A and B are shown apart, each in its own frame.
Chain A
Amino acid sequence: MQDFLQHFINGVSLGSIYALIALGYTMVYGILQLINFAHSDVYMIGAFSAYYGAMLLGFQNRPGIAALVILLFFAMAGCALLGFTIERLAYRPLRKAPKLNILITAIGVSLLLQYSGQVIFGADPKVFPSVLQDSVITEFLGVQLKVLDVAVLLVTFVMMLALHYLIYHTKVGRAMRAVSTNMNVASMLGVNSDRIISFTFALGSALAGVGSVLVGMKYPKIEPLMGMMIGLKAFVAAVLGGIGNIPGAVLGGLLMGLSEEMVVGYLSSTYRDALAFGILILILIFRPAGLLGRGGVEKV
Chain B
Amino acid sequence: MLRLLLPFIVATFALSACTKKNTNEIMIGQYGSMTGAEATFGQATDEGIRLATDEVNAAGGIKGKKIKLVTMDDQGKAEDAASVVTRLIEQEKVLAILGEVASSRSLAAAPIAQNKKIPMISPSSTNPKVTEVGDFIFRTCFIDPFQGTVMAKFAFENLKLKKIAVLRDVKSDYSVGLADFFIQKFKELGGEIVGDASYQSGDVDFKAQLTNLKGSNPEGLFIPGYYTEVGLIARQARELGLKAKLMGGDGWDSPKLSEIGGKDVDGSVFSNHYSNETKDPVAVEFINKFKAKYNKLPDGLSAAGYDAAKVLYKAMAATSDLTAQAIRDQIAKITDHAGVTGRITINEKRNATKSAVVVEVQGASNKFVTTISP
Contact = CB atoms under 8 A, between A and B. Distances in A.
A277 to B, nearest CB: 15
A270 B198 contact: yes
B259 to A, nearest CB: 5
B240 A144 contact: yes
B24 interface: no
Contacts of B205: 10, 14, 219, 261
Contact of A125 (B37, B170, B207): B37
Most chain B Cβ neighbours within 10 Å, of A118, A122, A221: A221
A39 interface: no
A146 interface: yes
Contacts of A229: 202
A123 interface: yes
Contacts of A269: 170, 197-200, 203, 208-209
Contacts of A260: 208
A105 interface: no
Contact of B39 (A122, A262, A263, A268): A122
Interface size class of A (residues with CB under 8 A): 20 to 34
A6 to B, nearest CB: 5
A273 B199 CA distance: 11
Contact of B211 (A127, A265, A268): A265
A62 interface: no
Contacts of B197: 269
Given A265-B211, A268-B198, A127 B39 contact: no
A6 B240 contact: yes
Interface string A33-50: 000000000000000000
A20 to B, nearest CB: 15
A10 B210 CA distance: 11
B211 A134 contact: no
B35 A122 contact: yes
B35 A118 contact: yes
A298 interface: no
A264 to B, nearest CB: 4
Given A118-B35, A269-B199, A221 B204 contact: yes
Contact of A123 (B39, B204, B211, B231): B39
Given A123-B37, A125-B37, A269-B198, A7 B232 contact: no
B175 to A, nearest CB: 13
Contacts of B231: 221
Contact of A7 (B203, B211, B241): B211
Given A7-B211, A261-B207, A270 B170 contact: yes
Contacts of B260: 125, 127, 220-221
Interface in A179-225: 215, 219-221, 223
B281 interface: no
A268 B195 CA distance: 13
A272 B200 CA distance: 9
Interface in B204-226: 204-205, 207-209, 211-212, 215
Given A229-B202, A270-B200, A124 B39 contact: yes
B103 to A, nearest CB: 19
Contact of A221 (B40, B200, B215, B232): B232
A2 B40 CA distance: 39
A110 B260 CA distance: 27
Interface in A78-124: 118, 122-124
Contacts of A272: 200, 203
Contacts of B235: 220
B236 to A, nearest CB: 8
Nearest to A10: B207
Contacts of B239: 134, 144, 146
Nearest to B204: A219
Contact of B212 (A223, A265, A273): A265
Interface string B299-322: 000000000000000000000000
B75 interface: yes
Nearest to B235: A220
Contacts of B241: 144
Nearest to B33: A123
A122 B75 CA distance: 11
A223 B37 contact: yes
Interface string A269-288: 11011000000000000000
B207 A3 contact: no
Nearest to A142: B241
B35 A264 contact: no
Given A3-B212, A124-B40, A272-B203, 15 more contacts: A3-B211, A11-B208, A123-B35, A127-B256, A134-B239, A146-B239, A219-B205, A220-B232, A220-B235, A221-B204, A262-B208, A265-B208, A269-B197, A269-B198, A273-B200
23 contacts: A2-B215, A3-B215, A6-B211, A7-B208, A11-B208, A14-B205, A14-B207, A118-B35, A123-B36, A124-B37, A124-B256, A127-B256, A220-B235, A221-B228, A221-B232, A262-B208, A269-B197, A269-B198, A269-B203, A270-B198, A270-B200, A272-B200, A273-B200
Sorted from nearest, which 7 A-B pairs have the closest CB atoms?
A: A264-B208, A123-B35, A124-B39, A219-B204, A265-B208, A10-B207, A6-B211
